[in-house]
Structure 1
Amino acid sequence: MSRLDVIEMFHGISFPGHLHTQDSLQLALKFQFQDTDILITSYPKSGTTWMQEIVTLIFSRGDPHLSQTVPNWARAPWLEHYYCAAMLEAASTTPRIITTHLPHHLLGPALQGSKAKIIYVSRNPKDVAVSFYYFHKMANFLPDAGSFAEFLNQFLEGTLHFGSWFDHIKGWTCQTATMNNLLNVTYEEMSMDLHGTIKRIGSFLQCPLVEDEISNCVKHCSFSSMKDNKMVNHTLTPEEIMDHSKGSFMRNGETGDWKNMFTEEQNQCFESVYKSKMQGCTLKFVWEDTNKITMSSSSL
């Protein structure tokens, strides 16, 4: 299935037709979650792959065999992709690890009453925009990115594939107060304290690890380890789908990379939109390099 130029519009949000169909998207909304399921959810380029690796290693108790022999899209298939049902049927492992980019207002009804554990991964939106821009340059199933200025405007307007970052993050994270089976984890937390974050996730998943197991998890899900792992870095993906000559799926993994792209004018515009759209939201993000930690709810 290629459909590289196909766009699927679904509930007002555009999805790449390469892996999404109307049927697969509809099936995702009717999915029967099991209480033992683990759902990783995020907006694109927010640390999803990293979390897939962490959860795999936690349930493997730090043993890298599975993460080094089975592609991450098979270990933690995407709920809304057309191949998901077949992947889950073929899998024999429990719990099932499932991944999604769907917003809460679409997927929430299917999760109603479920005890499935949900991990929401977020990242500061300036770095998301930059990472997503570079991903568009190499992913042939995504529209032409144009200039970064054009792309950033689309990001702020919420017209990119997968919809609005603002709607996505507010829709999921505002559930924390009412859902004790939802854990929020940020990309920056993973960057600053991977050991502590893995320990926290293991506890949430009721799979606590001893120190040696945590250390093995840290070793095998470090950015350098994942970048060299063909089961994670998408070098197995054919060139016609992902043009590896135009970039790397795992680019640099830095926090604060947006400073290398944003002009002062773009930053001021972003801050204005962020302040307006995130009003009343208590989320805090790290905007700087994690070696120079600066916490803020909106501005620098």
Structure 2
Amino acid sequence: MARLDVTEMFHGISFPGHLHTQESLQLALRFPFRDTDVLIVSYPKSGTTWMQEIVTLVANRGDPHLNQTVPNWTRAPWLEQYYSAAVLEASSPTKRTITTHLPHHLLGPALQGSKAKVIYVSRNPKDVVVSFYHFHKMANFLPCAGTFEEFLNKFLEGTLNFGSWFDHIKGWTSQMASMDNLLHVTYQEMSLDLHGAIRRVSSFLDCPLVEEEVNKSVQHCSFARMKNNNMVNYTLIAHEIMDHSKGSFMRNGKTGDWKNMFTEEQNQYFESVFKSKMHDCTEFVWEYICYIVCLWYDAGNQKLPQ
């Protein structure tokens, strides 16, 4: 299934047709979640792959065998993509890890009444847009990126594939006050304190690890390890679908890389749009810079390092 030039419009949001069909998207909205499921939710390029690795390692108490032998899209398939039904049908009947980029207003109804564990991963939106821009350059199933300024404007307008970042983060984080089965982990937290992030995830998943298991998990999901792991870095994908001669799926893993891309004018414009769209939300910190986002801390009420 190539469909590299196909775009699927679904509930006003565009999705790449190479991975999504109207049928697969509809199936996702009525997916029968199990109480034992773990659902990783994110907007693209927010730390999804990193969390997939963490969850796999936590479930296997730091043993990297699956991380090194099974592609991440098989270990934690994307719910809304066309191949997921077949993969999930072959999964263990008691424990499944599933990934999604769907916004809450679409997927929320399917989760109602379920005790499935939901891990929401977010990232500084400036870093998100830079990473997504570079990904568009190498992913032949995504539209042409154009100039960075053109891409940035589409991001702020919410017209890129997968829709609005603003709607996505507001939709999911607004549920934290009412969902005790939802954990919010940020890319910054994983970057600054991977050991602590793994402990939080393991506790949330009711799979507490001993120190040796946490250390092994940290070792095997470091950015350098993931970048060189063919089960993670997407080098197994055919060249005509993802052209690694034009870039790397895992570029540098740093926070604050947006500063190397934004002009001062672009940054000012971003700030003005951000404040307009997120003015009614709670204070949050990315990269030691205060932004306003819709966030309710998890039950521990632990703020990120400052």
Above 0.5 in TM-score? Answer: yes
In the alignment, structure 1 segments of 5+ residues that lack a partner are 288-293
1:124 aligns with 2:118: no
Task: After superposition, give the CA deviation of every residue in 1:13-32 in whole Å (9 maximum; x if it has no partner).
Answer: 00000010000000000000
Equivalenced residues, count: 293
Give 2:164's aligned residue. 164
Give 2:296's aligned residue. none
Whole-Å Cα distance in 1 between the matches of residues 208 and 105 of structure 2?
Answer: 32
**1:257 offset after TM fit, Å?**
0.2
Is contact 2:122-2:184 (8 Å) kept?
A: yes
1:180 aligns with 2:171: no
**1:95 offset after TM fit, Å?**
1.5
1:78 aligns with 2:78: yes
Give 1:27's aligned residue. 27
**1:283 offset after TM fit, Å?**
4.8
Q: Aligned to 1:81, what secondary structure does the other structure show?
A: coil
Is contact 2:49-2:232 (8 Å) kept?
A: yes
State the TM-score, normalized to the length of structure 1.
0.96
**1:295 offset after TM fit, Å?**
3.7
Give 1:291's aligned residue. none
Whole-Å Cα distance in 2 between the matches of residues 201 and 265 of structure 1?
Answer: 38
Q: Aligned to 2:35, what secondary structure does the other structure show?
A: coil
RMSD over equivalenced CA pairs, Å: 1.1
State the TM-score, normalized to the length of structure 2.
0.94
Runs of 4+ residues over 6 Å off in structure 1: none
**Counterpart residue type for residue 211 of structure 1:** E
**Counterpart residue type for residue 143 of structure 2:** P
Q: Counterparts of 1:74-223 in structure 2 under 5 Å?
A: 74-92=74-92, 94-223=94-223
**1:93 offset after TM fit, Å?**
6.5
Q: Counterparts of 1:6-25 in structure 2 under 5 Å?
A: 6-25=6-25
Is contact 2:281-2:292 (8 Å) kept?
A: no
Q: Aligned to 1:2, what secondary structure does the other structure show?
A: coil
Whole-Å Cα distance in 2 between the matches of residues 41 and 160 of structure 1?
Answer: 18
Whole-Å Cα distance in 2 between the matches of residues 285 and 145 of structure 1?
Answer: 29
**1:92 offset after TM fit, Å?**
2.5
Is contact 1:52-1:72 (8 Å) kept?
A: yes
Q: Aligned to 1:284, what secondary structure does the other structure show?
A: strand
Whole-Å Cα distance in 1 between the matches of residues 179 and 207 of structure 2?
Answer: 20
- Distance verdict in 2 for CA 1:283–1:183, change over 3 Å: farther
In the alignment, structure 2 segments of 5+ residues that lack a partner are 294-306
Whole-Å Cα distance in 2 between the matches of residues 63 and 205 of structure 1?
Answer: 17
**1:285 offset after TM fit, Å?**
3.3
Q: Aligned to 1:146, what secondary structure does the other structure show?
A: coil
Whole-Å Cα distance in 1 between the matches of residues 163 and 275 of structure 2?
Answer: 19
1:297 aligns with 2:283: no
**Counterpart residue type for residue 234 of structure 2:** H
Task: After superposition, give the CA deviation of every residue in 1:55-91 in whole Å (9 maximum; x if it has no partner).
Answer: 0000010000000000000000000011111001112
